[in-house]
């Protein structure tokens, strides 16, 4: 059994394990200029209380549970959720406040890090607290968060196998953010970049080794090679860029 990861735009991701759904940082769509998330979740967690991250009513099932800026360890169905105190800016929150980043672990051992609106490079202590997540979801759009240059530094510090960028400009978004092309231009050919033709991947551990697959096709940005069913080569590291439907 693997964990399904779906991107609903901006910083909103839905994680599904064993049929149980957890959504992180939901928006309402209209407020930022894109489609409303299609998730309907048992659980919702939010990194902070800004309008483009806190629309839990949009995605939460009746009777579901939500957490806002929870820095303790919580068990939500099959998900073990650890919140880590960070800041929304480089001035220890004096400009934009606190931000809680989350490490989500599922029973098969896959760990996913969602940085929320991280506004600074992680300190060595924070890197140790995060641990070594297999997958890092990091903002790259700048203005309100770290940008693509800083995201690469965080990715390297964490030692994650896969970076899934988020919180960047796509068509319709009414926020002043960098587009994902800035990240693609910045990254050397030593890191493979997979442009997925869809918003979903599945991750699992096989004999302790991370495997990522998708029902969608993808293109490797540097070589131009197209894979009809995407299976990124993550023996070293890789960037997987999801596409909104």
* Segment 118-136 mean pLDDT: 97
Q: Is residue 113 over pLDDT 70?
A: yes
**How does the average pLDDT of the chain come out, rounded?**
96
pLDDT of 234? 85
Position 245 pLDDT exceeds 70: no
Say what the pLDDT of residue 179 is.
98
Domain span at residue 115 reads 3-241
Contact 37, 58 (CB under 8 A): yes
E strands, 12-156, in order: 13-17, 20-24, 41-46, 60-68, 73-76, 79-87, 98-105, 111-114, 135-139
User: DSSP characters for 194-230?
Assistant: EEESSSEEEEEEETTEEEEE-SS-EEETTT--EESS-
Indicate the number of domains in the chain: 1
Average pLDDT, integer, range 57-63: 98
Per-residue confidence (pLDDT) for residue 205, from 0 to 100: 94
pLDDT band, residue 210 (cuts 50/70/90): very high
| Alpha helix positions (H), 12-74 | 56-59
* Number of Cβ within a 10 Å radius of residue 91: 11
Residue in 135, 139, 156 with CA at minimum distance from that of residue 5: 135
Residue count (the chain): 245
Looking at residue 57, what DSSP letter applies?
A: H
Report the pLDDT averaged over residues 85-111. Answer: 96
Q: Is the pLDDT at 163 greater than 90, yes or no?
A: yes
Task: Name the percent of the chain lying above pLDDT 90.
Answer: 94
pLDDT of residue 1: 78
* CATH code of 18's domain: 3.60.15.10
* Mean pLDDT on 221-227: 94
Mean pLDDT confidence for 125-144: 97
Q: What is the pLDDT of residue 5?
A: 98
């Amino acid at each position: 059994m693997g964990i399904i990861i779906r991107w609903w735009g901006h910083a909103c991701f839905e994680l599904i394990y064993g049929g149980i759904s957890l959504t992180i940082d939901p928006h309402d769509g209209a407020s930022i200029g894109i489609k409303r998330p299609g998730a309907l979740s048992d659980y919702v967690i939010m990194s902070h209380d800004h309008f483009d991250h806190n629309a839990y009513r949009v995605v939460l099932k009746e009777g579901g549970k939500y957490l806002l800026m929870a820095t303790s360890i919580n068990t939500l169905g099959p998900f073990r959720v650890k919140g880590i105190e960070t800041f929304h800016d480089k001035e220890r929150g004096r400009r934009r406040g606190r931000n809680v980043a989350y490490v989500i672990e599922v029973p098969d051992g896959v760990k996913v890090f969602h940085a929320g609106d991280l506004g600074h490079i992680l300190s060595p202590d924070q890197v140790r607290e995060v641990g070594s997540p297999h997958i890092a979801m990091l903002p790259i759009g700048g203005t309100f968060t770290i940008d693509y240059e800083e995201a690469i530094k965080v990715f390297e510090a964490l030692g994650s196998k896969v970076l899934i960028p988020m919180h960047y400009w796509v068509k319709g978004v009414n926020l002043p953010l960098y587009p994902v092309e800035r990240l693609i231009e910045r990254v050397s050919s030593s890191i493979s970049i997979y442009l997925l033709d869809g918003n979903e991947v599945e991750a699992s551990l096989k004999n302790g080794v991370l495997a990522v697959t998708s029902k969608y096709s993808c293109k490797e940005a540097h070589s131009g090679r197209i894979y009809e069913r995407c299976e990124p080569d993550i023996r070293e590291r890789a960037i997987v860029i999801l596409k909104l439907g």
